[in-house]
Amino acid sequence: MIRPTSVIAIDGPAASGKSSTAQLVAEKLGFLHIDSGSLYRAATAAMLRAEKDASKWTEAAVLNAARPVELRAARTSFYPLLDGRAIEEEIRGPDVTRNVSRVAQMPRVRTWVNDKVRDAARSSDVVVDGRDMGTVVFPDADLKIFLVADSRERAARRLRQRGTPTSEQMLDDETIRINERDARDARQTVPAADAVVIDTTGLTQQDQVEQIVSLSKTRSG
């Protein structure tokens, strides 16, 4: 069956710039952006509201807590709602970030996210970002990108994104946290055989956005 919509899949490890790049690529192409990580984060936030002690979490409890999560389309992207409300700030907080990889290991939670993402992609051209968009969720995506960057550079970007003053110690700590999350997410963070791997360590965001937009034009032309 021919898929009626186009899909660009952007995968990569923690803080590799997937989401911000995917958003800008989507805006340039007139596609909608879907951040699959935002759904893992929303499920984690919902579970945290129900039970703070993550050692007690079961797959069934997470799926139950995540039931009121929906993915809503806005002008340029989809975003998650919990009980009908936007939860952007809550899902980017340290409690969610610390616990999200645990939730992302649960196979039925992965199916729940994948179904929601595929559903959203049915009605519009999309740029999706995550870990396994090009391998598991959209194996026949029109273009697959895998972004990599040195972990210290990724830590520096994450800290800059927060916009607060930072020290060498904070950079060391953030690098450790990113390396730990990489290790926990390693299983689902593998480039597809046909992905274009882009090392963004020395690139500006504009460079990487332009590279992807031009690759997508070559593919569709």
CB of 37 or CB of 80, closer to ligand CDP: 37
Closest among 8, 9, 12 to 198, alpha carbons compared? 12
Check: CB of residue 114 under 8 Å from CB of residue 122: no
Q: Which long-range contacts (CB under 8 A, 24 or more apart) does 106-110 make?
A: 106/59, 106/62, 107/59, 108/59, 108/63, 109/40, 109/43, 109/59, 109/62, 109/63, 109/66, 110/136, 110/188
Amino acid at 176: I
**Which of 185, 191, 196, 211 is in the footprint of ligand CDP by CB under 6 A?**
185
Does residue 134 belong to the site contacting ligand CDP (CB under 6 A)? no
Does residue 175 belong to the site contacting ligand CDP (CB under 6 A)? no
Check: CB of residue 11 under 8 Å from CB of residue 131: yes
Check: CB of residue 69 under 8 Å from CB of residue 43: yes
Interface segment toward ligand CDP; rule CB under 6 A; list 2-10, 34-42, 59-67, 140-148: 34-42
CB of 97 or CB of 211, closer to ligand CDP: 97
Is the C-alpha dihedral spanning 155, 141, 132, 93 positive or negative?
Answer: positive
Does residue 23 belong to the site contacting ligand CDP (CB under 6 A)? no
For residue 219, give every residue at least 6 positions away whose Cβ sits within 8 Å of its Cβ, in sequence order, or none: 142, 143
Structure tokens given for 54: 């993550």
**Which of 7, 10, 14, 24 is in the footprint of ligand CDP by CB under 6 A?**
14
Q: Which of residues 40-99 bind ligand CDP (CB under 6 A)?
A: 40-41
Interface segment toward ligand CDP; rule CB under 6 A; list 37-45, 50-58, 78-86, 210-218: 37-45
CB of 29 or CB of 147, closer to ligand CDP: 147
Interface segment toward ligand CDP; rule CB under 6 A; list 57-65, 125-133, 144-152, 160-168: 125-133
Does residue 147 belong to the site contacting ligand CDP (CB under 6 A)? no
- What is the separation of C-alpha 125 from the centre of its chain, rounded to a whole number of angstroms? 17
φ/ψ of 185, rounded to 5, equals -95, 5
Does residue 188 belong to the site contacting ligand CDP (CB under 6 A)? yes
Does residue 132 belong to the site contacting ligand CDP (CB under 6 A)? yes
CB of 173 or CB of 185, closer to ligand CDP: 185
Does residue 19 belong to the site contacting ligand CDP (CB under 6 A)? yes
Query: Which residues bind to ligand CDP, rule: CB under 6 A?
Result: 14-15, 18-19, 36-37, 40-41, 100-101, 104, 130-132, 181, 185, 188
